Amino acid sequence: MISPLAYIHPGAKLGENCTVEPFVYIDDNVVIGDNCHIMAHASVLSGTRMGKNNKIHHGAVVGGIPQDLKFVGEETTLEMGDNNMVRENVTLNRGTASKGKTVIGSNNLFMENSHIGHDSVIGSGCIIGNSTKIAGEVTISDNAILSACVLVHQFTHIGSYVMIQGGSRINKDIPPYIIVAREPAKYSGLNIVGLRRRGFSNESIKSIHAAYRHIYESGTIVSTALARIKESGNVTPEVEYIIDFVEKVSERGIIG
């Protein structure tokens, strides 16, 4: 299962039943879990911690050093969960002294030529589209979908169950459950199809929609909209997440 044409440093640790194809480079200080498949010409570099059942396609670079001029060679990591699909020429950078690690959850798809910058945190169940570029210290919560060629500014926070249109440029935080589209990127309604696919009830979707009508369609400032949501008596767990995101999580301000 391990090609003699691959290079695996003696200090690397591989789990059981791994497949390593020709011309793979696996560095020192790497841990790879069971049943992973590393395809030809991929590189897994120092500091990578990979769980089970991950598939790394041709030419991908996992755990590359950060593209940050403040990085001076400190020991940092890239920590990846299970069942991730990393397609051709994807680059996943490890952390810097800022946070010490880049974190990727489980069951994600990183499409061809996408990039995850240093110290970012990617949840689980996300799809990162072809040639989408995520800057350093970005947080993307579970089950978000970013279409092709999306550009995300550093320090941005993207909520769960978001759908972002291809080619969008994101420089503000995106609260959960919504579609982001147009140029410049704006709130474009609920991600209703995504929510239904994920098992959200009609009642939950209605409560989310009601909350966003206050935030985006009432013509009031955000703080007033949140106060009205709280006064409405319809603060479901999903609505509570929206409130917490806007009040506590967002530091850049939410998208308009």
Is residue 174 assigned to a domain? no
Q: Which of 57, 115, 118, 214 is catalytic?
A: 118
Query: Is residue 58 very low, low, confident or very high in pLDDT (cuts 50, 70, 90)?
Result: very high
Query: Is residue 234 very low, low, confident or very high in pLDDT (cuts 50, 70, 90)?
Result: confident
Give CA–CA dist 86/4, Å, rounded: 23
The CATH number linked to 50 is 2.160.10.10
Average pLDDT, the chain: 97
The last residue of one of the domains, among 121, 137, 153, is 137
The three-class DSSP label of residue 102 is strand
Q: Which tens digit of pLDDT belongs to each residue from 87-113?
A: 999 999 999 999 999 999 999 999 999
Does residue 131 share a domain with residue 203? Answer: no
Cα–Cα distance list, 117 to 46, 114, 152 (Å): 16, 10, 10
Query: Is residue 219 very low, low, confident or very high in pLDDT (cuts 50, 70, 90)?
Result: confident
The amino acid at residue 85 is M
| 158 phi, psi to nearest 5 deg | -115, 125
- Concerning whether 119 is annotated as a catalytic residue, the answer is yes
Query: Is residue 233 very low, low, confident or very high in pLDDT (cuts 50, 70, 90)?
Result: confident
The amino acid at residue 250 is S
pLDDT of residue 4: 98
**Residue labelled with tokens 């989310």:** 208
Q: Residue 109 — left, alpha, or beta (φ > 0 → left; ψ -120 to 50 → alpha)?
A: beta
- Concerning whether 115 is annotated as a catalytic residue, the answer is no
Domain enclosing residue 240, as ranges: 195-249
**Residue 100: exposed, middle, or buried by beta-carbon count in 10 A (0-12, 13-18, 19+)?**
middle
The two tokens of residue 176 are: 């959960």
Does residue 222 share a domain with residue 103? Answer: no
Least confident of 82-91, 124-133, 210-219: 210-219
The amino acid at residue 249 is V
Examine the pLDDT at 178 and tell me if it is beyond 90.
yes
Is residue 14 assigned to a domain? yes
Is residue 148 assigned to a domain? no
Does residue 203 share a domain with residue 127? Answer: no
Q: Which of 27, 68, 119, 142 is catalytic?
A: 119
Share of the chain above pLDDT 70, in %: 100
Asked whether 137 and 174 are in contact (CB, 8 A), the reply is no
Q: Which of 136, 157, 159, 173 is catalytic?
A: 136
The total number of structural domains that make up the chain:
2
Does residue 118 share a domain with residue 50? Answer: yes
Does residue 132 share a domain with residue 15? Answer: yes
The CATH number linked to 213 is 1.20.1180.10
Q: H/E element holding 14? A: strand 13-14
Does residue 31 share a domain with residue 115? Answer: yes
Does residue 24 share a domain with residue 118? Answer: yes
Does residue 199 share a domain with residue 81? Answer: no
**Residue 5: exposed, middle, or buried by beta-carbon count in 10 A (0-12, 13-18, 19+)?**
exposed
DSSP single-letter state for residue 174: B
